Amino acid sequence: MLLKATQNKLKKLKYRLFWQENNLQNKMKKIKAASLMTAIKTPYRPDGDVDLESYDHLVEAQIKHGVEGLIVCGTTGEGHLMDWEEHLMLIAHSVNKFGNRLVIVGNTGSNNTREALKGTKYGFAFGMDAALQINPYYGKTSEAGLKEHFQRVLDLGPTIIYNVPGRTGQDLQPDLIEELAQHPNLIGVKECAGNERMAHYEAQGIACWSGNDDQCFEGRHRHGSHGVISVTSNLIPGLMRRLIDSDDPELDARLQPLMAWLFHVPSPNALNTVLSMTGAIQPVFRLPYSPVDLQARQEIIDLLKAFEPEDWVGSGLELMEDEQFILCA
């Protein structure tokens, strides 16, 4: 009897392990199939708290236009300006509200390995599909330290590594990524070091999403990338959907000036400004971000008038005055 009971327990354990492994593989496939993911903006109320009502409207607009996934609390979502409580609250809210319709990738990376592990554990406990992990920034570490940092966060679950040398000051080299790709939880890379780098990874079977909107068309249609993790899709999700799906150089050329405007100052300052001007969010900035100047605000009005009102997220378009914006700490 004891032997039979032990055998039954082993069968149940094997089945559970098989189910977990199969579920993980299906989740990884689902994430890799997402060619357009939006680094979603976090809106605020005038008191400075996260505006969940506006957030939900922004996400619904993404779903309406065919976006397949969200990066929650990334750079665009200003996770670095949040405490962990509101950071993880927004990941949990996104999972509970939209997890059945979108891939939810929580940015739980940090320049502090202990904090990255803590945030990532909670993010997976709240049901996020994957973690976005940036390399430790400012207090840069050695190659050995990078390997150990990423191996530890990779052990926790499906992960996209984010390489953005312009913000971290440290370019993750292919040798490192190729070694980390041996880990079963590495989904791929959000890469800002150019299309040649992405083509190199894709040739080796490492999934790669462009982190540069202005390069994503070439990356997708000329270099074989999986797609883009986009800032611009916050504003024009339908047009970004077309850009990724269609080999249409004319559309790419039309969108380039708009993309250039969104990044003419460090992002997301310009995005926050234009979403305020379209009425998509309340005109509240969490410092140190602030609106672009009046001349730039006039420029975006002129740029958007080249498109149809239904192409952009929001209910209108207003040239706002400086005093209409609210800056809070």
Catalytic residue list: 162, 190
Q: Are 105 and 75 in contact (CB under 8 A)?
A: no
Collect all residues with Cβ–Cβ distance below 8 Å to 13 and sequence separation of at least 6: none
H-assigned helices in the chain: 2-32, 52-64, 84-98, 113-125, 143-154, 165-168, 174-180, 195-203, 216-221, 237-245, 249-262, 269-277, 294-304
C-alpha span between 289 and 113 (Å, rounded): 26
- Buried b / exposed e along 202-221 (16+ C-beta atoms within 10 A): beeebbbbbbbbbbbbbbbb
The yes or no reply on domain 34-41+49-247 and CATH 1.50.10.10 is no
Q: Are strands 36-39 and 284-286 parallel, antiparallel or unpaired?
A: unpaired
- Nearest-Å Rg of the Cα atoms of the chain is 21
Q: What is the maximum alpha-carbon separation in the chain?
A: 82
Length of the chain: 329
- pLDDT (tens, 9 = 90+) of the chain, 329 residues, equals 656 655 566 555 555 555 556 677 888 999 999 999 999 999 999 999 999 999 999 999 999 999 999 999 999 999 999 999 999 999 999 999 999 999 999 999 999 999 999 999 999 999 999 999 999 999 899 999 999 999 999 999 999 999 999 999 999 999 999 999 999 999 999 999 999 999 999 999 999 999 999 999 999 999 999 999 999 999 999 999 999 999 999 999 999 999 999 999 999 999 999 999 999 999 999 999 999 999 999 999 999 999 999 999 999 999 999 999 999 99
